[in-house]
Structure 1
Amino acid sequence: MPAGLVISAPASGVGKTTLTLALARAWRTRGLNVQCFKSGPDYIDPAFHAAATGRASVNVDSWAMDRGTIAHLVSRGTDADVVLAEGSMGLFDGVAARGVSGTGATADIAEMLGWPVVLVIDPSGQAQTAAAIAAGLRDYRAGVRLAGVVLNRVASPRHEDLVRRALNDAGIAVFGALPRHAEISLPKRHLGLVQAEEQAEIGKLIDEAARFVAEHVDLDAVLRSAASWSPQPAANDLNVTPPGQRIALARDAAFSFVYPHMLEAWRAAGAEISTFSPLADEAPDASADVCWLPGGYPELHAGTIAANAHFRSGLRAFADTRPVHGECGGYMVLGTALTDADGVRHEMTGLLGLETSFAKRRVHLGYRLAALAAPMPGHQVGARLRGHEFHYSTIVAQPDTPLAVVHDATGAVIAETGSRRGHATGTFFHLIAEDR
């Protein structure tokens, strides 16, 4: 029977991902089968999880998914020895209005699955106050159990002793304390972590993290704190309709932000996926019946995309007769032009009139609920789609027919409606699930 744990923290940037990867690799090295999940809308961490465990990781999201969908997704951990769910932001951080089965908070997943929480605490600039924070998180919500804490970035033995004593007085277990160790910090990029496939040395980095954590954390005590977990039979599948039978999927360093559970659901429904690389000047498979451009980092490769005539002409020819859909960065590439952070304007494919700019960065971040005013691949007019938007571009022009009425998590209507022109459609949000 697998044992389940949630890795969380009081805030972002404390070291959740590094600890998750290190624990996963350390236990795998000991011969255990480890299954990871990511709580919340993150495109990147599941690839790091897969690198650490050798098993595919997927997202679970209480705002966008119902309990049946979450149960279906986590059932892949049935044959594992230990299951780790990495949280997002702080333990209780979610949106103000409840979604399908919660607010998107990591605590929702911990309570739903009955898995205890291991907190990563960074006591930099404090000592005993770290214990007060941990105790507050422990007591904040009935149904969420705290297994213990791992201290990260401890300044000195004296600092560690002060924090440990305070946590002990509060009745909170300390599984270990990590001194500052820059070598295992994962690189950052403007949208978060650098993608796993961009890390040539990712295996060595995870190995070093596992070695370091094993030296300073009681791995056996952490494992003993996990809850025995008997997965409940899932009442339903993912309820995802593929956009077509044969899907041409853009896939390279500029187009890689797609939720793993979406691709799995498409394949499970019988769809075939062929990949192509716009950065390598490849066109979509001519035998496909739909083309899908995920998000990613097109702004970092805008010059290459603009210069790749075979990709651009091939995509336009495809769109003459068949649907093409873009999400976020893919949507921008379907547009007329993209201005990069240096203020250089690059022509895109021109299938839509959208024009975007990164010259003045402005964050667009949050859950999205879209009611389709026009059809898009896999979904008809009136469908209610749940997704997440995260980018720093601004809209210069969005002249085409709006694709949807889009609300944020508070219910407010937003300007990022998506677009439709001919066979081309696009959204700024990444699709997570459709309301049943």
Structure 2
Amino acid sequence: MSASGLMIAAPRSSSGKTTITIALLAALKARGLRMKSAKTGPDYIDPAFHTAATGQTTFNLDSWAMPPPLLDNLMCETAENADLFLVEAAMGLFDRIEAPPGRSGAPADVAARFGLPVILVLDVSGQAQSAAAVAKGFSLYNPSVTICGVIANRVGSERHLRMVRNSIEAIGIPFLGAIPRMADIAIPERHLGLVQIFEHPSAAAFLERLRELAEQHLDLEKIVSSATLPQQHSKAEGIAMSPPGQRIALARDAAFSFTYAHLLEGWRSAGAEIVFFSPLADEPPPNQCDACWLPGGYPELHAQAIAGAETFKSGLREFAETRPVHGECGGYMVLGQVLINSDNNSYEMAGLLSHETTFAKKKLHLGYRRAKLIDQSWMGGKTSVIRGHEFHYASILSEGCDAPLVEVVDGEGRPLGKAGHMRGHVSGTFFHAIAVDN
């Protein structure tokens, strides 16, 4: 490992972690540092913002879904060929599920495992000196996690800043800067999180704006000096999941964009080639490929275009006659018969599986999943287990007549029944795979 690292965390979601992480990445890169980053937990969208700021691949680090050797390998790769790396925490620093120590999904698991100092981002809107009490509590909560400083976010005035800063410094925690309350740095959101970086109306200007804010309001020298080399763990052989084929056709466009970098890099390291194609451009899976993967994304926002993409749909059907096709979440919806959007309009999908999905009555499905294969598939042998997550608002309107793909429990072991479907070479599920359980 060559780079020192820090974690950027907060007491809760929507505190400004992503904005401040991006601002730091952009500002420190502009100063000539080779920057890399990672994101804890299951998340597709924030890592893409990181990559836009650094120009480097951003991995997820998930202590529940990833076996420890994989976690160690990804940390090693994050720290290689860089001067500094930042790990953005998901949700609150200590938020977790009931699980064995170190495998709970909490960002604190990652901070403790690798000895990463934590910068705590505090949204101080509506409070002043009380921010110090929060910081003090976080600094004492877990002796394995070190709070190395505080960044205050959404500060309302110079007087407000003075009260917050003085109270933090009085308890002996370094104060590393404060971002003023302003509307023009908010990242637009939709139902699955932030709007994706390639959809941002002015991504380059946005990154430059954040860089300027970091230069003006954060103590960059003190932040850099707070970083430490991560604790060494041996790098093991192996990848998260075996590739579905030697040459993989991977859908990638505005409707199909949720892929994990660690899966793709693992497939490549196993000798597989990934060939991108765009269903929204009415492209079929390339015929020279021997497997097709439809990832998640936002097919509901593009349902009419997908329904009209006859070359894509007919090419996918022909491909599936002889080769495996798998869909995750959004891709699973597109493999079904019908997708009903939030306006209750019905659109014909590929029809390779017989289920129907709907957004007309939104219901949140969220959480870790442990899925056991019911039968042999490209994902593994019968009874093989895969860890991952669900995050969607769609529901099954009609199950259809296909065989179920997996038996699922949640992150704490509660049974959720059978899920997904398979028919011939085709399989799909709302479940997003992260790693084989071992």
> Same fold, TM exceeding 0.5?
yes
Cα offsets for 1:14-64 (capped at 9, x unmatched): 111111111111111111111100111001111111111111111010001
Once the 2 structures are TM-superposed, how far is the Cα of residue 230 of structure 1 from its aligned partner? 6.0
Partner of 1:21: 22
Cα offsets for 1:130-180 (capped at 9, x unmatched): 111111111111110001110000111111122122212222211011111
Partner of 1:220: 221
Partner of 2:91: 89
Partner of 2:141: 140
Amino acid at match of 1:315: L
Once the 2 structures are TM-superposed, how far is the Cα of residue 232 of structure 1 from its aligned partner? 3.6
Contact in 1 for aligned 2:240/2:262 (Cα 8 Å): no
Partner of 1:391: 392
- Unaligned regions of 5+ residues in structure 1, if any? none
Cα offsets for 1:177-235 (capped at 9, x unmatched): 11112222211111101112222522221111011121011000111111134644312
CA distance in 1, matches of 2:237, 2:273: 22
1:116 corresponds to 2:117: yes
Partner of 1:258: 259
Amino acid at match of 2:437: D
Moved more, 73-82 or 116-125: 73-82
CA distance in 2, matches of 1:230, 1:343: 52
CA distance in 2, matches of 1:415, 1:365: 15
Moved more, 324-333 or 135-144: 135-144
Q: Identity of aligned pairs, percent? A: 51
Going from structure 1 to structure 2, the CA distance change for 1:239 and 1:392 (only over 3 Å counts) comes to closer
CA distance in 1, matches of 2:230, 2:94: 22
Partner of 1:414: 416
Contact in 2 for aligned 1:282/1:310 (Cα 8 Å): yes
CA distance in 1, matches of 2:277, 2:55: 24
Once the 2 structures are TM-superposed, how far is the Cα of residue 415 of structure 1 from its aligned partner? 4.4
Contact in 2 for aligned 1:375/1:403 (Cα 8 Å): no
Cα offsets for 1:67-98 (capped at 9, x unmatched): 21111112122221111000000001121224
Partner of 2:305: 304
Contact in 2 for aligned 1:5/1:226 (Cα 8 Å): yes
Moved more, 82-91 or 170-179: 170-179
CA distance in 2, matches of 1:229, 1:373: 40
Contact in 2 for aligned 1:283/1:310 (Cα 8 Å): yes
CA distance in 1, matches of 2:218, 2:324: 52
CA distance in 2, matches of 1:193, 1:341: 19
Contact in 2 for aligned 1:282/1:311 (Cα 8 Å): yes
CA distance in 2, matches of 1:35, 1:378: 31
Contact in 1 for aligned 2:97/2:104 (Cα 8 Å): yes
3-state SS, counterpart of residue 21 of structure 1: helix
CA distance in 1, matches of 2:418, 2:434: 17
Cα offsets for 1:287-328 (capped at 9, x unmatched): 211111000000000011111111111111111111110000
3-state SS, counterpart of residue 248 of structure 2: strand
CA distance in 2, matches of 1:162, 1:15: 20
CA-based RMSD: 1.4
CA distance in 2, matches of 1:327, 1:334: 10
Aligned length: 435
3-state SS, counterpart of residue 204 of structure 1: helix
CA distance in 1, matches of 2:29, 2:234: 26
CA distance in 2, matches of 1:132, 1:242: 49
CA distance in 2, matches of 1:415, 1:348: 26
CA distance in 1, matches of 2:163, 2:17: 23
Contact in 1 for aligned 2:115/2:231 (Cα 8 Å): no
How high is the TM-score relative to the length of structure 2? Answer: 0.97
How high is the TM-score relative to the length of structure 1? Answer: 0.97
Contact in 1 for aligned 2:96/2:105 (Cα 8 Å): yes
3-state SS, counterpart of residue 401 of structure 1: coil
- Unaligned regions of 5+ residues in structure 2, if any? none
Contact in 1 for aligned 2:240/2:263 (Cα 8 Å): no
Contact in 2 for aligned 1:244/1:378 (Cα 8 Å): no
Partner of 1:279: 280
Amino acid at match of 1:373: I
Partner of 2:429: 427
List aligned pairs for 1:24-423, cutoff 5 A.
24-76=25-77, 77-98=79-100, 101-199=102-200, 201-229=202-230, 231-399=232-400, 400-415=402-417, 417-423=419-425
Amino acid at match of 1:410: E
Contact in 2 for aligned 1:176/1:216 (Cα 8 Å): yes
CA distance in 1, matches of 2:36, 2:418: 36
Contact in 1 for aligned 2:353/2:426 (Cα 8 Å): yes
Amino acid at match of 1:381: K
CA distance in 1, matches of 2:32, 2:94: 33
CA distance in 2, matches of 1:245, 1:176: 49
Once the 2 structures are TM-superposed, how far is the Cα of residue 427 of structure 1 from its aligned partner? 1.2
